[in-house]
Amino acid sequence: MSNLKKILVNRISCKHVWFMRQAGRYLPEFRKIRKKNKNFIKLCLNSKLSSEITLQPIKRFNLDSAIIFSDILMIPYALGQKVEFEKNRGPKLNKFNYKTFLETGETDFLKKLNPIYKAIKKARRGLKKEKSLICFIGAPWTLIVYMFHLKNSNDNLNIKRFRYKKGDIDKIINKLIKFCCLHIKNQINAGADVVQIFDSWAGLIPINEVNAYCYLPNAKIVKFCKKNKIPNICFPKGIKKRYERFNKVVKPDGLSIDFKIDPMWAKKKLKGVVLQGGLDPRKLLSSEEEMIKGATKYIETFKDIPYVFNLGHGLLPETDPGKLKKLIKFYRNF
């Protein structure tokens, strides 16, 4: 059993460190590959390269877990929606086609995502037994934000569009949950140990809709995971003090906190769960002293409970790998 899996299942307290977006844009070895592979979706579906990218931060930093190099938008892609990534602008999806979505079956879905499962098998072979291989999905709401273009350019919810599309969203959400679970199961069968469920835009949900679009979909997925003995970590970014209600309703094995959550509040209010993360990724862009000061706050707060050291969001492209190496060394020597 991998170390992260032990922590999540048995709630033991031991040192464990990995980082969201640890395989990506801040690493020169990744940029070298990316320069030759302009199409991001094709790169995610290149089993040889995606497994190689997955292992890059393990080779460089000897982290405790690898996370498969992929993207949350591979699910909409596999459900028939065209996905493109524009430089400096992020993902762009074509207009949602309700007919295509409904007609997509499990066989076609899994066929499109099979290269990801092959990449997981390759990456698993390249890891020591005690190291975890994390797979992931985007939570239904976060996928819906992209699928229905619900986010404004200033990263706020387009409330008018949300209300206009609400009927369609309600019609597809259960099928979306089903395919999220299917993707999890196949990633685990391929060799992943743990799944992280990213609800990156949970903070955009109107307060009176949080139960329907955040708590309940995540709870259904976590229930599926527990039924299939799959250790899971949820990350409902931006929901503030609703983290407490989320934890009680969803009951995940692990809960990743964002950098706006006070760690002492989290320790007092979030019980019966392994906590993860919290450190603002921008701290790695500041002085070494500021970075260490920020890390110390989390390590000291959570030193006597099961905790996985991580960030409160993904590593930023401007991050200096040398700075990250110093942070890892500091944590392990603390």
What angle, rounded to 10 degrees, do the helices at 47-61 and 106-125 form?
40
Q: Are 79 and 87 in contact (CB under 8 A)?
A: no
What pLDDT score was predicted for residue 178?
98
What pLDDT score was predicted for residue 32?
97
Torsion of CA 173, 179, 184, 190, to 10 degrees: -170
The whole domain housing 43 covers 3-333
What pLDDT score was predicted for residue 86?
78
What pLDDT score was predicted for residue 2?
83
Which residues are registered as beta bridge partners of 133? 66
Residue in 181, 1, 53, 159 with CA at minimum distance from that of residue 106: 181
CATH number at residue 241: 3.20.20.210
Number of domains in the chain: 1
What pLDDT score was predicted for residue 317?
96
- Taking 50 as the pLDDT cut, the residues of the chain under it are none
What pLDDT score was predicted for residue 153?
85
